[in-house]
Amino acid sequence: MPFIAASDVTRFSPEKMTKTNFFDCPQMVADIYGLEPGQSQKIHSHAGEAKLYYVISGKGDFTIGDETRTLGPGEIAAAPTGIDHGVSNPYDDRLEALVVMAPNPNLRK
């Protein structure tokens, strides 16, 4: 899928945050996260991968290490390998974010 509109692949669920994969190769994996108001991703880390969050629409609270910041459209949060990270949407509008992980964790041996 060389060209997409984020709105064509973003999904939302009333039960939990959604993750829609739209690009996968050995070097990285790219997803669109959809968070309804009140949803969150558990704080976690990856031993061998780094993660970038790019806010497409809405706003959310992004945690990287010991710091949490509210980010809106066009803003980025970057989690180096091994650093705790996560996102929550305590706001009234939906949050849509592009999320890229490298290298691709699905291809680790």
Q: What confidence tens digit (pLDDT) does each residue in 71-86 have?
A: 999 999 999 999 999 9
Q: In the chain, what are the domain boundaries?
A: 6-107
Q: What is the pLDDT of residue 54?
A: 98
Q: Please say if the pLDDT value at position 109 is more than 60.
A: no
pLDDT given at position 42: 95
**7 vs 64: which has the higher pLDDT:** 64
Kindly state the percentage of the chain with pLDDT values over 70: 97
Q: Contact at 8 Å (CB) between 55 and 72?
A: yes
CATH architecture assigned to 6-107: Sandwich (2.60)
Report the pLDDT value the prediction gives residue 56, as an integer from 0 to 100.
97
**Distance separating alpha carbons of residues 69 and 28, to the nearest angstrom:** 25
Token pair, residue 3, equals: 């060209």
